[in-house]
């Protein structure tokens, strides 16, 4: 695909930030003998990737503000543009030596996400999308899966764990979906789950307790691949409610119904 100047800037930034993560990932196994060492190492790797992203993007687009996982809100002089950055999406996977992690980046313009990229430096998978121009994985155009019955679908979510808000409610939702679908999956990274929905690898995904950097890039991938995303109440307030439900239009609606039933 022919990339716009904006996407070229974003791809350059995530690949420069991602390459050191791949090298750091190779060191994780050597640190597993220490309980403290790996976690500190991941924090340092996250910080380095974030600094590289901010530096590269600031050079290319001076004045844009940032919302980052590692540093919070960094105001800029251009109030209409904001980068939404996760320098190490899937950090728990990274810590445990699971190669499902990467650099996620989205651009918000006047409150709307207009471009997104996601780079896994271990697999070299590069997802890119621009509003109105489609979603792509390594230059292959993406389309959401076409299944229409939940019974035929593989659905993903985050498995409730220690610290999950409203743990009983999360379990009820999980149980309500499990009995209706062909299979359940959890990769450990919301943005990668949404990218997999866009690629048609899984049929749908839902999750609560998310942050803007978990949602921004992935929601654009899904929409530009022909799918639909909403919050768990069927509205557009995904960031405000910290929730998302995504899939093709029919499956997304049916999944919402199952989740609503579980909520009571």
0.75 exceeded by pTM: yes
pLDDT at 37: 54
pLDDT tens series, the chain, 264 aa: 678 999 999 999 999 999 999 988 887 665 544 444 566 778 888 899 999 999 999 999 999 999 998 888 999 999 899 999 999 999 999 988 899 999 999 999 999 999 999 999 999 999 999 999 999 999 999 999 999 999 999 999 998 887 777 888 888 999 999 999 999 999 999 999 999 999 999 999 999 999 999 999 999 999 999 999 999 999 999 999 999 999 999 999 999 999 988 776
Q: Which residues pair with 247 in a beta bridge?
A: 204, 228
pLDDT at 169: 84
pLDDT at 34: 45
* Dist. CA 65–CA 79, nearest whole Å: 7
Convert the pLDDT of each residue in 181-206 to its tens digit: 999 999 999 999 999 999 999 999 99
* Dist. CA 222–CA 217, nearest whole Å: 9
> Going by C-beta distance under 8 Å and a sequence separation of 6 or more, which residues neighbour residue 162?
none
């Amino acid at each position: 695909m022919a990339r716009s100047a904006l996407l070229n800037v974003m791809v350059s930034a995530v690949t420069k930030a991602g390459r050191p993560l791949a090298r750091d990932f190779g060191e994780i196994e050597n640190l597993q003998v220490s309980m403290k060492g790996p976690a500190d190492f991941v924090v340092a790797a996250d910080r380095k990737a974030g600094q590289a992203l901010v530096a590269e993007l600031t050079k290319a687009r001076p004045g844009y503000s940032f919302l980052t996982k590692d540093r919070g809100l960094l105001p800029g002089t251009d109030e209409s543009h904001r980068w939404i950055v996760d320098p190490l999406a899937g950090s728990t996977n990274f810590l445990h030596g699971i190669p499902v992690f990467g650099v996620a980046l989205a651009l918000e313009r006047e409150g709307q996400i207009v471009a997104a990229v996601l780079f896994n430096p271990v697999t070299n998978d590069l997802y890119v999308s621009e509003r109105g121009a489609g979603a792509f994985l390594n230059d292959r155009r993406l389309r959401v899966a076409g299944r229409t019955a939940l019974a035929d679908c593989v659905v993903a979510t985050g498995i409730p764990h220690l610290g999950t808000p409203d743990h009983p409610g999360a379990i009820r939702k999980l149980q309500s979906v499990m009995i209706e679908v062909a299979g359940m999956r959890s990769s450990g990274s919301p943005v990668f789950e949404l990218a997999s929905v866009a690629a048609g690898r899984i049929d749908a995904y839902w999750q609560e307790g998310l942050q803007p950097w978990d949602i921004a890039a992935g929601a654009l991938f899904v929409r530009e691949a022909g799918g639909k995303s909403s919050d768990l109440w069927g509205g557009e307030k995904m960031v405000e409610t910290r929730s998302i439900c995504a899939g093709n239009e029919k499956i997304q609606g049916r999944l919402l119904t199952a989740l609503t039933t579980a909520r009571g």
